[in-house]
């Protein structure tokens, strides 16, 4: 059974309201669902620093952590 929902009131600019409606139509969803998803993302993933995001992306890459360990890349440098 779904959790009981509370009703709130939100004020949006015309542009945001139109964007919300457009996205809801594209996703075949409701405006309320989209707002809940957006709030959930903000609650679960608070803003992180750019450095933290870069670190996270870098960790997902496969390969040497330091290209100076690759002899082919070092060819011709300082030798």
| Domain span including residue 45 | 14-63
- If one compares 32 and 55, the residue with the highest pLDDT of the two is 32
Instruction: Output the CA–CA distances (angstroms, integers) from residue 59 to 28, 50, 52, 54, in the order listed.
Output: 35, 14, 11, 8
Domains contained in the chain, number = 1
Mean pLDDT over 10-25 rounds to: 94
Q: Mean per-residue pLDDT for 44-56?
A: 74
Q: Is residue 46 part of a domain?
A: yes
Residue at 38 is within a domain: yes
Q: Where are the alpha helices (DSSP H) in 1-79?
A: 14-27, 31-44, 50-59, 71-74
What pLDDT, on a 0 to 100 scale, did the predictor assign at position 39? Answer: 87
Q: 75 lies in a domain? A: no
Report how far apart, in Å, the C-alpha atoms of 14 and of each of 8, 40, 49, 59 are: 19, 23, 30, 40
Average pLDDT of the segment spanning 8-26: 94
Q: Quick check: is 73 in a domain?
A: no
Share of the chain above pLDDT 90, in %: 39
Q: Is 3 part of a structural domain of the chain? A: no
2 in a structural domain: no
**Is position 72 within any domain?**
no
């Amino acid at each position: 059974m779904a959790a009981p929902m509370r009703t709130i009131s939100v004020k949006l600019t015309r542009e945001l309201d139109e964007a919300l409606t457009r996205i809801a139509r594209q996703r075949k969803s409701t405006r309320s669902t989209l707002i809940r998803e957006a709030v959930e993302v903000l609650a679960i993933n608070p803003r992180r620093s750019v450095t933290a995001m870069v670190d996270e992306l870098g960790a997902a890459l496969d390969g040497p952590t330091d290209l100076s360990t690759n002899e082919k890349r070092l060819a011709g440098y300082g030798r």
